[in-house]
Structure 1
Amino acid sequence: MNAHQPPRPYTSYVYAYPHKTAYRPLPDRPALTGLWAGEPKDALSLYLHIPFCEVRCGFCNLFTRIGAPDELTTRYLDALDRQATAVRDALGDASPVRFATAAFGGGTPTYLTAGELERLCDIAERRMGADLRAVPLSVESSPATATADRLAVLADRGATRLSLGVQSFVEAEARAAVRPQRRADVEAALGRIRDSGVPVLNIDLIYGIDGQTESTWRHSLDAALAWRPEELYLYPLYIRPLTGLGRLGPAADRAWDEQRLRLYRYGRDHLLGHGYEQVSMRMFRRADAPPQGPDDHACQTDGMIGLGCGARSYTSSLHYSFDYAVDMREIRAIIDAYTATADFSRAEVGRRVDSGEARRRHLLQSLLQAEGMPLDGYAERFGSSPFADFPAELARFEALGWLDADAPAGLLRLSDEGLAHSDGLGPELFSSGVRAAMAAYEAK
């Protein structure tokens, strides 16, 4: 890339590093017992992945399939139970094992029936030992599956946050994003979530849909604000290869970048004006929202246990998962292979994380948060400064106006413009090795 040419603002959503397309089959298939032997396990994150949806949205590149025929959900939960048993055995009891936070994602976890959600919670609690009523528990849902019986189970089992994927309250925009839904059904689902008593409601909205304007964007924002959600996530639309929208036309151009930046700034300012605080480029929290509960998990340093065929697990030296795909046929084959697996005692696919990659990951995950990164915390962990470790990258961000020149001493923080360009800034910090692996990945 030209050093004087700023990256496109919507290069890639960086929600984990290294990206899963940089993972490869692990020739040694290391045993989980050895991987976790020397790891701190007193503030782990637990993630359970359910790869089923009632429909597949046109923009979706998540690891999920439509429907679950022939009792597939039962077989999947059976496999999840086997995996949880193997993983908990591998964690051992030589040092305390405690989960500080938990989440059910997908796919759509509430695709499961109420009885199956009970079993999912049992796997988290009885197999893994997570105390779901004592830690923050976030669950993703969709309007069609946020039924009263499912929500009652989740509320009773300790869910502190329900995230509803609405994307747009304008029915024409929902259709344009290949997410057919009726506004009345969305409103009814939001009413049921509020009635359930789960303390934190999050609403996901998307900007950059074909034909979307500031006026229609405000219509969706105001419709969401009417429910006074404790959190709102504003996502830019991406068109991915092998997804529904990806087959309809070319990738986004500069005009689309400008549209998304314009709508992002409009949405940001609108929410800030309605009493919300910006947590990241995507996340906004109501200033008076109640806390979800104690959460001492730090994503930069603490490990994560992912259960399910689309979930990742993180140790300090290895990130691992299962095979990854976007194409529906490939996903179905991977899910079928997962449900037939008897031995979950080894890591199959992943990427090693050396000290250099650990520095990049720490910087990425800290800098992309609005609160920024304390320099002394970085120095305490790595014995160096990010300005010494990443001089060219940080100098470039500074030249682009992406670093906050008015941040307090000892704090590295993005400016408002830097936050706006998070999806361009994040990939700039990828290592050459990760870039090469991602480039060599063959989409399937």
Structure 2
Amino acid sequence: MQASLYVHIPFCHRKCGYCDFNSYAMAGAIVEAFVEALHREIAQTPYAGARVPTVFFGGGTPTFLDEKTLAGILEHLARQFRIEPNAEITIEANPGSVRAEQLRALRQAGFNRISFGVQSFDEAELKRMDRIHSPQEVYQSVEWARAAGFENLNLDLIFALPDQTVERWASNLEQAIALNPEHLSLYALMLEPNTRFYHLYQKGLLRLPDEEVQVAMYRLAQARTRAAGYHQYEISNYAKPGYECQHNLVYWRNEPYLGFGPGAVSYMEGVRWTNIKHPREYVRRLQAGESLVLESEALEGWEKVGETLMLGLRMTAGVNLAALEARFNLPVRAHYAEVMAQLQARGWLEQEGDWIRLTDEGLLWHSEVALAFLE
């Protein structure tokens, strides 16, 4: 059995105005109780012994925890599972809260990929997003990470921010590329309910770039990363050759993964489930020996195929239909012939032999394409 592992650390120093992730600005006794509960969940897994190609610590802000605690969690995973010798082991980090000695210890503990939540190099944009770091701290964190031995480094950036111009986005891009990371994740801002940005927008107090400007920003990202030697392998992700995020590829290929921590999602043997989200309830349930499952869904037949197509078409390489038919033992090409013909007619989908992929225009309309395959 094989499964990638995701560990959710739900704490942040401050909740950002745009963030809808399962994160909490909490401190004190709950943090220690969470760590103890997380170890208990790992110890109770029914999938002990599974082979693990990738591990990802996300959040929240994983580096909210000290390096000894994080190393202890990774060590526990290594005892419970068979983590492959060349496994990609990623940790997310905030440039405003990491320390040089912390990064050295994390690298020595076995983390070999680091992802910094930069979001912007513009001081005013960072403050507006409620980020706790400065542009200078980004440069310092990257320097420390390199000195610690991290040779696989990602920077996250967001575009289409409030009042952002194409020129300001271009400046952010150039500064990110100048740091020479192996990987860039470049996301358009999404307004999610229950965020400060969403409520401001509903009140008419948040001005966002219009659709035409957002497309121009996306096209600029494609062009500049390509010129700098990165290839776009997914809608929002760009990598130097050989540095694609292996963990995220597991998600996009709809392969098995196990999630630990509050709100973590797992997908095993056709069943997807989500853990209870709030850290206090997560701790209480583990202490009481109760189920952590908030919701669960068993996918069958064409549901699995539809989701695999939806996720796989996020990748610029696309989906191999023959491989999909062999995997699920279903007539995929015949079933979706009409849908694919309609998408090709709109210029959103192209086919080459057994492969289908989104066109450059289709990448902008992935949500609509996904719905067509899921209906």
Question: TM-score with structure 2 length normalisation?
Answer: 0.91
Deviation at 1:298, TM superposition (A): 7.5
| Equivalences for residues 42-441 of structure 1 within 5 A | 43-69=2-28, 71-87=29-45, 90-91=46-47, 97-126=50-79, 128-131=80-83, 134-250=86-202, 256-287=210-241, 300=253, 302-324=255-277, 334-340=278-284, 341-342=286-287, 343=289, 347-404=293-350, 407-431=351-375
Q: Considering only aligned residues, what root-mean-square deviation do their CA atoms show, in Å?
A: 2.6
Percent of pairs identical after alignment? Answer: 27
Given that 1:101 and 1:295 are in contact with CA atoms closer than 8 Å, whether structure 2 keeps it comes out as no
Compared with structure 1, are the counterparts of its residues 299 and 205 closer, same or farther at alpha carbon in structure 2 (3 Å cutoff)? closer
Q: Distance in 2 between matches of 1:218 and 1:318?
A: 42
Deviation at 1:97, TM superposition (A): 2.1
CA displacement, residues 149-189 of structure 1 (integer Å, 9 cap, x when unaligned): 22122211222210101111011222233325321112111
Could you tell me which amino acid in structure 2 is paired with residue 85 of structure 1? A
Deviation at 1:276, TM superposition (A): 0.8
Q: Distance in 2 between matches of 1:290 and 1:178?
A: 30
Given that 1:314 and 1:320 are in contact with CA atoms closer than 8 Å, whether structure 2 keeps it comes out as yes
Q: Distance in 1 between matches of 2:215 and 2:62?
A: 31
Given that 2:238 and 2:244 are in contact with CA atoms closer than 8 Å, whether structure 1 keeps it comes out as no
Structure 2: segments with no counterpart, 5+ residues: none
Question: TM-score with structure 1 length normalisation?
Answer: 0.77
Q: Which has the higher relative contact order, 1 or 2, with Cα contacts under 8 A spaced 6 or more apart? A: 1
Structure 1: segments with no counterpart, 5+ residues: 1-40, 325-333, 432-444
Aligned residues: 371
Given that 2:183 and 2:243 are in contact with CA atoms closer than 8 Å, whether structure 1 keeps it comes out as no
Compared with structure 1, are the counterparts of its residues 58 and 301 closer, same or farther at alpha carbon in structure 2 (3 Å cutoff)? closer
Deviation at 1:313, TM superposition (A): 1.0
Q: Distance in 2 between matches of 1:203 and 1:411?
A: 30
Compared with structure 1, are the counterparts of its residues 156 and 100 closer, same or farther at alpha carbon in structure 2 (3 Å cutoff)? same
Task: Kindly indicate which of the two structures has a greater share of residues assigned to strand.
Answer: 2
